[in-house]
Amino acid sequence: MSLEVAYAFLVMIAGALLVGLVSHARNSGTRVIIFVGAYTCLQFVIGTFLWLRSPGVDGLAYVKAADTLAASSLASTIGVSSTVLADGKQGYVYLLAVGFIALGSSPLVAVAINANLLGLLLLVVRATAEELRAGAGLLAMFIASLFPAVTFWGPQPLREACVWLLIGTLGLSALKISRGSSSAVAGWLVFIVTAIALLYFRGPIAIIAAAALALGCVFSGRFSPTRATLFAVGAYGAYLLLQDRFASVLVKFGNDQIDVSRQELASSSSGFIAPDTSNPTDMLVAMVRVLMGPLPGERSSAGIAAFEAILWSSAFVLAIVGARAAGSTARPLYYAALVLALSIAASSGNYGSMLRIRAMLIPLEAPLVAIGLMLLVRTVRRKSKLPVEVRV
């Protein structure tokens, strides 16, 4: 096992160097490169510890499936669980299988791959923040790295790191589109390719996030009626092309399927009463739970995750401040974040799954939180420098 750890560490270092080269190519600066490199190494260490201590059921299933696929050089799926190869999640298995073919079949290679994906995620978060406000990138990276969900689930052999990276890339490309800059064409290309890729990692979220971000671009005030019409026609055409291929993903949007899923989740030890989606009050409570939870009355069942409430509550308030400060340019991000939060609120039934799934909001929320925090600090400093009135 020690040789396996050493080899996986070398794989991680090689990947970290590539991430560093990407960062250097974008003139990110020495501090950014050092931060991303150190963070990638730390995530590998944490992921290795978690795997050797107690590998998760989902992680074991992904690694086993990828190992089987790699053994056949991707030619056969015989012996691979149909659960992990279902539409909307098979992409991660194939990603690991390609990694196993190229680098060797080992769960720690999967950990090294995920650690590097998290390093790339920080670079995307930084670029997104810089797109909104110059100088906010490094702080946004730091904020994204603080969330316990990223540290706990990100480096494990799970599809989460890929999903977060793809959502962050969607958000960044949507900002470039909404700004109408010279890179808008490239933004559209990246947006379309990323949305299609996300369909293979988390299908329902790909549809929700892409639609919300695209609508945010339309309502950012920079789209002419002609461009908005062309966009609507194009989106409908894409739906017609993909509906047969991802029919099993679209079925998950049905009310019956959502209700069954929520009831199953609510039966766990960290379960809560699933909201009635037809009741506005229930949905409001569910939204607060996703954006700021665990709620005070539910923290005993949420376990150690209850400590996240302070972080998420603070992040939510600062994100609102940041969104207001960034103006219409940030609309794609907070539209997508709110729509994703609404979908999580409607489908969640326990904290065990919700805390893991809501981490998808971090790539969209962290840049807004960074801008909000910068504004707050600037306001405090300005007030602290005001002359004190002396009354005689």
pLDDT at 268: 45
Separation of alpha carbons 128 and 172, rounded Å: 5
Q: How far apart are the first and last CA of the chain?
A: 77
Report whether 330 contacts 322 (CB < 8 A).
Answer: yes
Domain ranges within the chain, ordered by starting residue: 2-54+106-376
Give DSSP secondary structure letters for 196-214. Answer: HHHHTTSHHHHHHHHHHHH
Which amino acid makes up residue 333?
A: L
pLDDT value of position 288:
75
CA dihedral 126, 89, 198, 271 (to 10 degrees): -60
57-71 and 107-132 helices, crossing angle to 10°: 110
Q: What is the pLDDT of residues 213-254, one digit of tens each?
A: 877 777 765 555 555 555 555 655 555 555 555 544 444 444
Structure tokens at 100: 């196993």
Q: 17-38: per-residue pLDDT in tens?
A: 666 666 555 656 778 888 888 8
How does pLDDT run across 100-133, given as a tens digit for each residue?
998 888 898 999 999 999 999 999 999 999 999 9
Is the dihedral angle over the CA atoms 34, 17, 360, 149 positive or is it negative? negative
What are the backbone angles phi and psi of residue 391, rounded to the nearest 5°? -100, 135
Residue 231 token pair: 């966009």
Specify the pLDDT at position 222. Answer: 57
pTM of the model as a whole: 0.83
Query: How long, in residues, is the chain?
Result: 392
350: which strand partners? 271
Of the listed ranges 32-36, 267-271, 290-294, the least confidently predicted one is 267-271
Q: Give the sign of the dihedral formed by CA 113, CA 115, CA 116, CA 117.
A: positive
Strand, helix or coil for residue 271: strand
Helix, strand or coil for residue 350? strand
84: CB partners within 8 A, 6+ apart: 61, 62, 65, 90, 92, 93
Q: Which tokens hold the place of 161?
A: 């790191």
